[in-house]
Amino acid sequence: HPLFNGRLVSRADELLEEYDYVIVGGGASGLTVANRLSEQPSTTVLVIEAGQFDQNEEFVTIPGLAGGAVSTKYDWNTTYAASEYLGGRNISISQGKIVGGSTKLNRMVFDRGSKSDYDGWETLGNERWDWESLLPYFKKNEIFSPPVDEIREEYNITWDDDAHGYDGYMHSTYSPYIWPTTKNLVEATSSLNIPIPKDQANGNAIGGYFTPHNMDPIDYRRSSADEAYYDTAATRENFHLIADHQATRILTCANSTLKATGFATSSNATIQSVKAKREVVVAAGSLHTPQLLQVSGIGDPALLSSIDIPTVVDLPAVGQSLHDHVYVMVANSVNTTITLASELTSNATFAAEARAQYDTEKRGPLTSPSGDFLLFLPLSIYTNTSASIHAAALASNASLSLPSDAPTEVAAGYAASYHSLNSKLLANDSAFLEVIWADGVLFLGLQHPYSRGSVKAPSSSIFDAPIADAGFLRNPLDTVLLREAVRFARRLVAQPSIAELNPFEVVPGANVTSDADIDQYIKNSASTLWHPAGSCKIGKRDEGGVVDGELKVYGIEGLRVVDASVFPILPASHIMTTVYAVAERAADIIKGVGGAIEMS
């Protein structure tokens, strides 16, 4: 008999001595892979998760309070390094430290990028990492439910049945309540002749679309990796999870074959270890995964020696190529009798009614995490300067995007990304800009940033926060792309259906119009949409890849990375569905089903 019944292991001395697979990180990717690997009863799986289980706090479960776990004990509360391109600011970059990872903190947008975004992964040299090979895994993750009739009729929401999955673990559905000024946005979208596709999920995520959210269609609670992939596997005797323990190091033996993972509750606690018979799978997220590899001796020898770590694998690309969706805001106050989301905080009666409606009927404002209708726009749709931006990009130098100490192979690989980004500038099937609307406030997110940064372990201790720099605005092209986004936001707001809300631009302010003034505003205010990726990307080793097409870390046996850090380049979308799809596929690759992928 096992010592415990498949569920949570609360004491390290209850663990088995060895497992077939030890998975570091119980977030979106880690729990997905753990669930799928433990489907085979003879395969033992352990997940080590640094955070705790949540206590079903309302700020975690209620969609209308989504994001409420940010800055709590469930957040690593990390910040990006101060950057000269951001006027010396440190931007905070939340990451979940909780069973479920960032899927417990996120804003619940459950969308996919366009076909061309994923096909672009293959174009970068990653055979069979394209839309067609990922689509079955997007579906495998999902239990899709159409919108309720009232909201479908009121907003004319359409969807493509064939694009969705129905037998997965993650619930996805549309909010049964949509904040009413969303209608003004939809009308303005149409009046600018921006397309409204049938569904974002079928590879054509261009234009304005209604997005589903990761929530249960019966009780309208958040569906996270915890409910989806942990709860559904937790009765399996071969699946163990230890929470509140942080992996400190991946232990290797002399011939570089991986043996085990060390872990501990805190920096001054005793470090214990657990063996992996087959593999250690790292799923600690884009900032912590490269740090864990580095403190384990896998990385750039120069960095490793500076923190007194002997080099096990000379792999300078570890932690490089980090990028993220950077955004700026154009904020208008509005003056209207239409109900606004601010009533939830400013009007106690409204808030109490909304709460009662949620509790009794599972309807009303608290079922919406907001952001129900999003715009994803190719450059030529949001500016008429795309040709000159393209010409400037061709005349510019790819190295402007990279940190000055970027290793040669990273620069070599980035050259291909640069070329691909340049061609996207003129493409109509790939979005450069996302617009998120909240009653007159517009969040303008750059979907294909040129700039790259890095993650570096600051010391040999995993308990010291990684030094992460997303490289925001390093390449001046990114500022130009956002500058045009600010101008587009004003054109959008000038459309009659939004003008009737009597908008008044509070930030940056109507007097901020020149290139120089807008650029200064961008520098002083740009921030993150919480989508760090790329820091252990799939790719050829001499082109800055950290993992091969089967997600195996180069130069060592028995070690894979399966989280957002493997993305070669960000898709134009929120990224959780892509994380799930990659992780679902990783599980098949590890099990040896679904076809091996070769790298040429």
Ligand X SMILES: Cc1cc2nc3c(=O)[nH]c(=O)nc-3n(C[C@H](O)[C@H](O)[C@H](O)COP(=O)(O)OP(=O)(O)OC[C@H]3O[C@@H](n4cnc5c(N)ncnc54)[C@H](O)[C@@H]3O)c2cc1C
Query: Binding residues for ligand X, per CB under 6 A?
Result: 24-30, 48-51, 67, 70, 94-98, 101-103, 105-109, 246-247, 283-285, 288, 292, 462, 530-531, 563-564, 574-576, 579
Q: How far is the CB of 507 from ligand X (least distance, A)?
A: 21
Q: Do you know the residue count of the chain?
A: 600
What string of DSSP letters covers 325-351? -EEEEEEEE---SS--TTHHHH-HHHH
Q: Which CB sits closer to ligand X, 454 or 528? A: 528
Query: In angstroms, rounded to a whole number, what is the distance separating the alpha carbons of residues 560 and 577?
Result: 20
Q: How far is the CB of 213 from ligand X (least distance, A)?
A: 8
Q: Which CB sits closer to ligand X, 24 or 354? A: 24
Query: In angstroms, rounded to a whole number, what is the distance separating the alpha carbons of residues 584 and 141?
Result: 7
Q: Which CB sits closer to ligand X, 141 or 386? A: 141
Query: In angstroms, rounded to a whole number, what is the distance separating the alpha carbons of residues 596 and 600?
Result: 13
What residues contact 296, with CB distance under 8 A and at least 6 apart?
249, 250, 251, 252, 309, 312
Q: What is the DSSP letter of 470?
A: -
Q: Which CB sits closer to ligand X, 91 or 498? A: 91
Residue identified by tokens 């009121």 is: 154
Q: Which CB sits closer to ligand X, 258 or 334? A: 258
**Longest C-alpha distance within the chain, in Å?**
72
Q: Which CB sits closer to ligand X, 101 or 413? A: 101
- Collapse the DSSP code of 560 into the 3-class scheme (helix H, G, I; strand E, B; otherwise coil) and give the result: strand
Q: How far is the CB of 532 from ligand X (least distance, A)?
A: 8
Q: Which CB sits closer to ligand X, 109 or 431? A: 109
Q: Which CB sits closer to ligand X, 49 or 409? A: 49
What residue type is assigned to position 250 of the chain?
A: I
Q: In 549-597, which residue ranges form alpha helices assigned H by DSSP?
A: 576-591
What number of other Cβ atoms are within 10 A of residue 356's Cβ?
Answer: 12
Cα-based distances in Å from 510 to 187, 357, 458, 499, 507:
23, 39, 43, 15, 8
Query: Which one, of 546, 600, 53, 567, lies nearest residue 291 by Cα?
Result: 546
Please answer whether residues 13 and 88 qualify as being in contact, where contact means their C-beta atoms are separated by less than 8 angstroms. Answer: no
Query: In angstroms, rounded to a whole number, what is the distance separating the alpha carbons of residues 537 and 27?
Result: 18
Phi/psi at 407 (5° precision): -60, 155
Q: Which CB sits closer to ligand X, 115 or 574? A: 574
Q: How far is the CB of 103 from ligand X (least distance, A)?
A: 5
